[in-house]
Amino acid sequence: MAVYQRSGDIIDVTPVAAVTGGDVVVQDNDLISVAISDIAAGEEGQYYIRGSFEFDTSETLAVGANAFWDAAAEEITSTDTDVYAGRVTKGTYNTTKVEVSINFKHEVTGS
């Protein structure tokens, strides 16, 4: 049996280090999240895990492309060795910005 709690767009996590609102945090090595507001170390806070967000990029990415998070450079890339972030929903604009639907998983089923 399951009991509905909420829509599932937001998770509650207690960070070890302080987090600033808008920071991208990778949860459990593969779940991209965005801090909703500033969160003090050791205090529970909320993170978005769904939605489209604007990120920095140094690449030209097209709508529909897979997007990956490079934590060291703090930007979206097309490099599949970085953490999967989602799918591009607005291709590169202003030469350094891209919009990504985070944690978007497109599964294809075959026959």
Residue 111 has pLDDT above 70, yes or no: no
Q: What is the DSSP string of 22-61?
A: T-EEEETTTEEEEESS-B-TTS-EEEE-SSEEEEEBSS--
The predicted pLDDT at position 108 comes to: 56
Question: What percentage of the chain exceeds 90 in pLDDT?
Answer: 85
Give residue-wise pLDDT tens across range 72-83.
Answer: 999 999 999 999
Give residue-wise pLDDT tens across range 11-53.
Answer: 999 999 999 999 999 999 999 999 999 999 999 999 999 999 9
